[in-house]
Amino acid sequence: MEEIVALCKRRGFVFPSSEIYGGLGSTYDYGHYGVLLKNNVKAEWWKAMLQERDDIVALDSAILQHPRVWEASGHLAGFTDPLVQCLGKCKKRWREDHLREAVEAEGGDPNAELRCPECGGELSEPRQFNLMFETHVGPVAEEGSTVYLRPETAQGIFINFKNVLGFARKKPPFGIAQVGKSFRNEITPGNFIFRTREFEQMEMEYFVPPAEAGKWHQHWMAEREHWYIELGIRPDHLRVRAHGEDELSHYSSATSDIEYLFPIGWSELEGIADRGDFDLTQHAKFSGEKLEYFDQQTKERYVPHVIEPAAGADRATLAFLVDSYEVEEVEGRQRTVLRLHPRLAPVKVAVLPLVSKEGMPEKAREIFQDLRRRLPTEFDEGGSIGKRYRRQDEIGTPWGITVDHQTMDDDTVTLRDRDSLEQVRVPIDGLGDELVGRLEAPWRSPKLD
């Protein structure tokens, strides 16, 4: 993980937030290439949800919602964790349940007295800690002005169920998809962008007839696992783990996690839950609005059950970074490369003049201007050609175009492949079509060979 963090900072993917002031715990800013990579991850998710299906519509709900939303959902009463604080030297705070799980995993007695894992100091009595960030609407903080930054995007979908039914001309089974920021005042965030207090979710609520919930739960587990594999994640680094009875949320009859083998071990990448009719029933109860579906053909009226695939854009981005990262030796020199799926790569092609003379920079600039209209393209003329190749390898650019002496004679360029390191001569005429064709062609990670 340290190597990934170093690469992210060195190459402008992710930086610690407020770094010049010493940082703010577990908050991060995305740099240029990080923005492009995460946007590509989200674009692929939207493509899978909307472009490749006709039973899902999009939504973008507000971050601030009526406080009764969180009362109905159970977050106000139940979205809490048991917090203990070290009374010794380090003064750190810990989740009591996590400490007991760690003790049990090491073969100890989880009911025994706990000590601080950092300094061995005595721990305070546990107290309940609400994970929602609280703020106020209006010019002054007063009674009745308290609202919360949403801890999940899902509730925004449920409270808009009736609105979507009114315009979308959909009937169950159908889904509502959303990408947006959520906020949780985590006690123990960490492991880079794996768990942060401000994060981006990619969630879809799929509304189904109650009798079909089990079938659709299986469907979405398979669909979502396939999505990661298609975008280059190694299958042996993915697994689907069903929650035990003691893990299930109060609203869930079945939940399975798609887990990835991060450097920190197997951890959740995405959860697929059968939420039953809990959310719509609760919001109908608290709002007084009927949130149900009436089937005109069968004259049946029912509250749909919901299957929820919920993924984190930040976690997915981290998984793609980790899985694509490789250090290898090429011709006696070490090469760091991100073998990202070309559709995820921040930059698709780099145009590189061999030398900064003899008209090569001008010719390269012409090619760059032509290609950038069709593909995310970068122009790079700083340093030796070898260093520029290495720089592009580190940000995951799949193809490099070198403008050299032969280009000036016959209008051909050298096209270099990031993964195979193969270099071929291709004519400038038709270069855009060649690259678009490569981008759209099936791709297989070299790590699978």
Distance (Å, whole) CA 378 – CA 392: 9
- CA distances in angstroms from 173 to 209, 212, 284, listed in the order given: 7, 9, 20
Residue 124 has pLDDT above 80, yes or no: yes
- For the ranges 241-250, 260-269, 281-290, 373-382, the lowest mean pLDDT is seen at 241-250
Answer whether 270's CB lies under 8 Å from 314's CB: no
Contacts 24+ apart (CB under 8 A), 238-241: 238/269, 239/266, 241/266
Domains of the chain: 2-63+157-320 (3.30.930.10), 347-448 (3.40.50.800)
Q: Which is higher by pLDDT, 128 or 306?
A: 306
User: What's the pLDDT at 125?
Assistant: 84
Instruction: For the chain, give the number of residues.
Output: 449
pLDDT per residue as tens digits for the range 396-449: 999 999 999 999 999 999 999 999 999 999 999 999 999 999 999 999 998 888
Residue 1 has pLDDT above 70, yes or no: yes
Those residues whose C-beta lies under 8 Å from the C-beta of residue 363, and which sit 6 or more positions away, are 353, 403, 407, 408
Distance (Å, whole) CA 357 – CA 336: 29
* 229 sits in which H/E element: helix 213-230
Nearest to 205 by CA among 184, 183, 180, 177: 177
User: What's the pLDDT at 84?
Assistant: 85
Average pLDDT on 33-53 reads: 97
Residue 189 has pLDDT above 70, yes or no: no
pLDDT per residue as tens digits for the range 48-77: 999 999 999 999 999 999 999 999 998 887
pLDDT per residue as tens digits for the range 138-163: 877 676 688 999 999 999 999 999 99
Distance (Å, whole) CA 388 – CA 350: 9
Q: If you average pLDDT over every residue of the chain, what do you get?
A: 92
- CA distances in angstroms from 439 to 49, 376, 412, listed in the order given: 21, 11, 20
Q: What percent of the chain has pLDDT over 90?
A: 69
Nearest to 312 by CA among 218, 207, 182, 159: 182
Distance (Å, whole) CA 259 – CA 182: 21
Q: What percent of the chain has pLDDT over 70?
A: 98
Residue 78's pLDDT band (cuts 50, 70, 90): low
Answer whether 140's CB lies under 8 Å from 58's CB: no
User: What's the pLDDT at 282?
Assistant: 96
The answer to whether the predicted template modeling score (pTM) of the entire model surpasses 0.75 is: yes
Average pLDDT on 67-96 reads: 82
User: What's the pLDDT at 188?
Assistant: 65
Exposure of 292 by Cβ count < 10 A (0-12 exposed, 13-18 middle, 19+ buried)? middle
Nearest to 175 by CA among 281, 59, 55: 55
Residue 113 has pLDDT above 80, yes or no: yes
Cα end-to-end span (Å), the chain:
24
Distance (Å, whole) CA 119 – CA 107: 20
Distance (Å, whole) CA 362 – CA 408: 11
Average pLDDT on 300-315 reads: 96
Residue 102 has pLDDT above 70, yes or no: yes
* 267 sits in which H/E element: strand 265-276
